[in-house]
Amino acid sequence: MKAFWTSMIALLALLLSVYAAAADNVGDLKQGETIIREHCNSCHQTGNAGKSGTGGAPSFAAIAQMESTTILSIRVFLRTAHINKTMPNVMLSEDEVDAVASYILSLRK
């Protein structure tokens, strides 16, 4: 069962990378900002790089600064289940994920 999920996640990551290659940076920033204000700001602060929000959630500015953060990494993160972690599983459409990912990356300095 574990192997099944591991391969499903690998398949998902592959599909996402094909999709990402076809359309990078396509998210609507305004839509991303609205989604984040409504669903994410209770835990993640937007500004204040370095400062964390509620429950140790990193600020989006800090996430944007991390070298490992890309549109793809955010997509994969938001589309995979977080087991034993404090970040809840958020249900967003593909467009919404793109919008959120683009907005987070727009905070990179």
- Please provide residue 33's backbone torsions phi and psi, each rounded to the nearest 5 degrees: -65, -40
Report if residue 89 touches ligand HEC, rule: CB under 6 A.
no
Query: Of the listed pieces 2-10, 14-22, 23-31, 37-45, which binds ligand HEC according to CB under 6 A?
Result: 37-45
For residues 97 and 78, is the Cβ–Cβ distance under 8 A? Answer: yes
Nearer residue to ligand HEC within complex by CB, 3 or 59: 59
Query: Of the listed pieces 9-17, 21-29, 56-64, which binds ligand HEC according to CB under 6 A?
Result: 56-64
| CA distance readout (Å), 101 to 1, 2, 40, 65, 98 | 31, 28, 12, 13, 5
- Residues found near ligand HEC in the complex (CB under 6 A): 39-40, 42-44, 55-58, 63, 74, 77-78, 82, 85-88, 90, 100
